[in-house]
A and B are shown apart, each in its own frame.
Chain A
């Protein structure tokens, strides 16, 4: 099989398995997997900036929340239908990431992490400050009647699963295409050696800016869909935890691999799910898993797969 055929078979196979699982999973895991697929889409967005471009952001909750609130406030304040509300969320994420990228990319390394973190905190505080509209910490529910998209009730578990799968498929397919396109290859080269890329005649600032907008827009799409599918928007999604989580998922699954974000999100979700059934200190178990990962598989599970088995893994 050619390299391209293998790549398509692997990722197509993953999507087919996820689609088929919808008919066999018990209700609890069925609901979990829908959630995981939406969060994995968020991780895919994060991975484009972190895994492929080499920029470690600690502020992606800002983009996730921009999508979620862009969508949810349209419904709450203006009574919009789900489709234009979703679109508003995505556009809000694109605008916020475009503006933040202009500022944050003036810095590099640790300063970039701090600047993104601070802006995301400012976003979180903004959500709390305008509690009249956002209901702050408490958040607000999006009523079942407002969650019917083109006649499809997204509150229904089967529809919700399918919608989550659709979002995940689009993001996975887009990411696969992107990293094999010239633009994606240039991003990888920037991650490896930015100075050299500049001296090959590329505008590296523009490339990094575009990568951040793509990454932020995908994150916002995930945030908007998450709010719509699960019927809730709250300030906790704008908090620092939601900036750290995609980083952990991507590290666990394999930074700079297309399927890694899904693997990482799936494992971390169930790790926390199982651990929290055993002890209240469940984050300790998640922490130990990450320590083990750094020791034995520093490139994440996807990275190890690529190193040991499938050199062609994109």
Chain B
């Protein structure tokens, strides 16, 4: 069953066509990577999906329902969680409160406390709950972003470059974490680290100059000459 669908989704910034009429389907439960060179329109594309920016044309469907007209917060309530590309935690608030804010829409009291602890443990931040989020290392703030996404129990989790700035050890931990979510959450992963993409994604969509260049399994994408050309510039 298709969880997320876009039809003719496009966005111009003045004369620049950042995203050109993209048709995209993401089946429920799949872990999909979205890759492409810098400026390919990946972030613009997912920001239109979660409602941070309005499309110039086209429609977005979640679970068959047209959500194009919904404001961002109502899309989030329908089960989309989005982790920011540029770390955007509440720096002046404790780590625990950061996660609690994400969970408080659906939980309260003991259940809230338990869910917060569980999410922090899940990403490997147990024991940091009382620290101010701004005092965490960059890598740990990335993990906190992921905890804030997971604790919402989303149906679709959009991770925008989650491993950027993580150490090798933290990346290994992240990979284990995402594998553990197989079958639970549908994931759309924007990622530059090909190693991570090849290991985690079941399918890969390649975006180039705002349009889908190729789609397939990691192996197919790896061997695709057009993709190689786009990345290496030898076409």
Contact = CB atoms under 8 A, between A and B. Distances in A.
17 contacts: A185-B101, A188-B93, A189-B97, A189-B101, A192-B90, A193-B89, A195-B88, A196-B88, A198-B76, A199-B52, A199-B72, A199-B76, A200-B152, A201-B73, A201-B77, A202-B105, A203-B71
A271 interface: no
B157 interface: no
A19 B225 CA distance: 82
A182 interface: yes
Interface residue range, chain B: 20 to 34
A197 B104 CA distance: 11
B93 A189 contact: yes
B84 interface: yes
A236 interface: no
Contacts of A204: 73
A196 B152 CA distance: 14
Interface of A: 182, 185-186, 188-189, 192-193, 195-204
Interface string B42-82: 00000000101000000000000000000111101100001
Contacts of B148: 200
Contacts of A185: 97, 100-101, 104
A203 B91 contact: no
B90 A193 contact: yes
B7 interface: no
Report which residue of B91, B97, B104 has the largest number of chain A beta carbons within 10 angstroms of its beta carbon.
B104
Interface of B: 50, 52, 71-74, 76-77, 82, 84, 88-93, 97, 100-102, 104-105, 108, 148, 152
Q: What 7 A-B pairs come out closest when comparing CB atoms?
A: A201-B76, A192-B90, A201-B77, A196-B88, A200-B102, A201-B73, A203-B73
Contacts of B82: 199
A186 B103 CA distance: 12
Given A188-B93, A189-B93, A199-B82, A182 B104 contact: yes
Contacts of B50: 199
A199 B50 CA distance: 8
A202 B73 contact: yes
B105 A189 contact: no
A54 to B, nearest CB: 11
A98 B34 CA distance: 45
Contact of B152 (A189, A198, A201): A201
Given A182-B104, A201-B105, A201-B152, A196 B84 contact: yes
Given A200-B152, A202-B105, A192 B72 contact: no
Contacts of A182: 104, 108
A168 B50 CA distance: 44
B93 A192 contact: yes
B213 to A, nearest CB: 28
Contacts of B71: 203
A200 B93 contact: no
B76 A189 contact: no
Nearest to A206: B73
A159 to B, nearest CB: 42
Nearest to B106: A201
B76 A193 contact: no
Contacts of B97: 185, 189
Nearest to A188: B93
Nearest to B100: A185
A111 B73 CA distance: 24
B93 A198 contact: no
A188 B93 CA distance: 9
